[in-house]
Copies of this chain bind each other. A is one copy, B any other.
C-alpha cells in the first residue's frame, strides 16, 4: 500500500510537499503539483486517514446510537443523520443497542476509543445514564435526538418533536369530530417522548372537559404485541371506546391486527389514530401525526457538525422542537362524522 513516502520518492519531492498538495495548500508550484499528482495516480495512493487522525485528533467519524434500525422511526432518524453526515463528509458508526444498557455502555466506550468527533444519542431516558459523562470527559460533543433526558446541561443539545402538541392536535381533531369516549395506549413513561405525549393528552382532554377513563389508558409498553393485546382485551370485555389513540406506530399496527382478526371494523366500530406517522400507515388508511423523524435526524447531525466546526457565531438554541403535522386518512371516520 503506497504511502506519502512512496509518492515523494517517485515524484522527486519531499513528503512535506506531497502533504501540501494533498491538502490543497496553495503554496505549491504548478509543476510540483502536477508531478506529484501524477505520482499519486500511478501509485494508486490513498491518504491514510488513520495516520492523519492520529496527528489531527479528528476522525471525521460520528457515532449514532439507536435502539433498532428495523423500526420505521429509527430508520427515518438514521436516514436523516446519515444524509447530513454525508453532505459534510462525515461517516457514521451505526450502534444498535436494542435498548440494552450494557450494550449501550460498551458502544460508548468503543466510540470514545475510536475517537469519534461526536455522538448522537437517540436512546436516552428521563433518568440520565451516567456513562454519557464519559463523552464530555473526553471532549466529545453529543446531541440527544428524539428522546430527551430530564435536564439539559450547558453543553448538551436536544432535537426532537413537540410531542405534547402532537397529542393536543389529535385531541383537537377528535373533539371536532365529536368523539368523547377516548382510549390512549401511550407507552412507558421513562421515555420523554411517551411522557410528553401523555401530558399533552391530559392537557387536551382537560381543555375540552373530556373525561379520562382509567381502564382506557395504558402506559407500559410500546410494541406491536402490546397494542394487539390491549385491543383484544377491550374487544373481549366488550368494552370498546369510540376511538383508540396509539402513541406509537407499532401499537397502532397491533390494535389494527386485533381488530381485523376479531372482525371489528375501523372506523365504524372503533376509530384509530397514531401519534407516530410512517410510510405504512397508508396501507391501512391510518390517520396519524407526522413527527418528522427524517428532518429531525438531519437537524441533529447538522447541529453536531456546526459545533465541531464552530462556524456558529450565533449560538444555536440548546433545544429544537419540530412541529408535528396531522395526516388525515380514514381511520377516524371523519367522512362518517363530518356532520359534527
Residues on A lying within 8 angstroms of B by beta carbon are 1, 44, 46-51, 53-54, 59, 61, 68-70, 72, 75-76, 78-79, 82-83, 86, 91-96, 103, 109-115, 134, 137-139, 253, 256-257, 260, 279-280, 282-285
Contact = CB atoms under 8 A, between A and B. Distances in A.
Given A1-B139, A96-B86, A59 B70 contact: no
Contact of A54 (B50, B59, B109, B138): B50
A256 B94 CA distance: 33
Nearest to A78: B69
A137 B2 CA distance: 10
A157 to B, nearest CB: 22
A92 B93 contact: yes
A140 to B, nearest CB: 10
B280 A283 contact: yes
A13 to B, nearest CB: 21
A91 B93 contact: yes
Contacts of A139: 1
A152 to B, nearest CB: 23
B91 A114 contact: yes
B94 A94 contact: yes
A110 B134 CA distance: 28
Contacts of A76: 70
Contacts of A49: 110, 113-115
Q: Which of A50, A69, A86, A256 has most B Cβ within 10 Å?
A: A50
B61 A70 contact: no
B96 A93 contact: no
A282 B261 CA distance: 11
A46 B112 contact: yes
A53 B176 CA distance: 62
Nearest to A82: B96
Given A138-B1, A283-B280, A96 B114 contact: no
A76 B96 CA distance: 12
Nearest to A224: B279
Contacts of A113: 46-49
A284 B111 CA distance: 41
18 contacts: A46-B138, A48-B54, A49-B114, A61-B114, A69-B69, A69-B75, A69-B78, A69-B82, A70-B76, A75-B75, A82-B95, A86-B96, A91-B114, A92-B94, A94-B94, A280-B280, A283-B284, A284-B284
Contacts of A283: 253, 256-257, 280, 283-284
Considering the complex of A and B, which 8 residue pairs feature the smallest CB-CB distances, nearest first? Answer: A49-B113, A94-B94, A49-B114, A280-B280, A70-B75, A82-B96, A50-B53, A91-B93
Contact of A50 (B50, B72, B95, B284): B50
A49 B92 CA distance: 16
A135 to B, nearest CB: 11
